[in-house]
Amino acid sequence: MNARISIRTLIPSDAEAFIKLRREALEKEPLMFAASVEDDQALSLSFVRQALEDTNKSITFGAFLISSKKRSKPEFH
């Protein structure tokens, strides 16, 4: 498999994948986060979308694995 990694700023349409990956990581490695699983589960999708849209306060980057296979969307890692 020929693959490359693309790093870019996350945008509101990345919110669902970001939440899923963050929660998975939080459950596996809770000490790496400044939040509990319960705190994270209280975040709404609309809150995360708004946070990703408001780049004046913060920017969140994502690393995407781009394979040589045809995909409709890059895979978020």
Domain residues of the chain, as ranges?
3-76
**Could you give the angle at the alpha carbon of 8 between the alpha carbons of 48 and 13, nearest 5°?**
35
DSSP three-state, residue 25: helix
Q: For position 41, what pLDDT does the model report?
A: 82
Q: For position 72, what pLDDT does the model report?
A: 53
Per the DSSP assignment, residues forming a β-bridge with 75 are 65
Residue 67 has which token pair? 């394979």
What is the pLDDT tens value at each position of the chain, 77 positions in all?
577 999 999 999 999 999 999 999 998 998 888 888 888 888 899 999 999 999 998 999 999 988 776 655 555 55
- Contacts of residues 40-46 at CB distance under 8 Å and 24 or more positions apart, as own/partner, are 43/19, 45/15, 45/16, 45/19
What is the Cα–Cα distance from 66 to 52, expressed in whole angstroms? 22
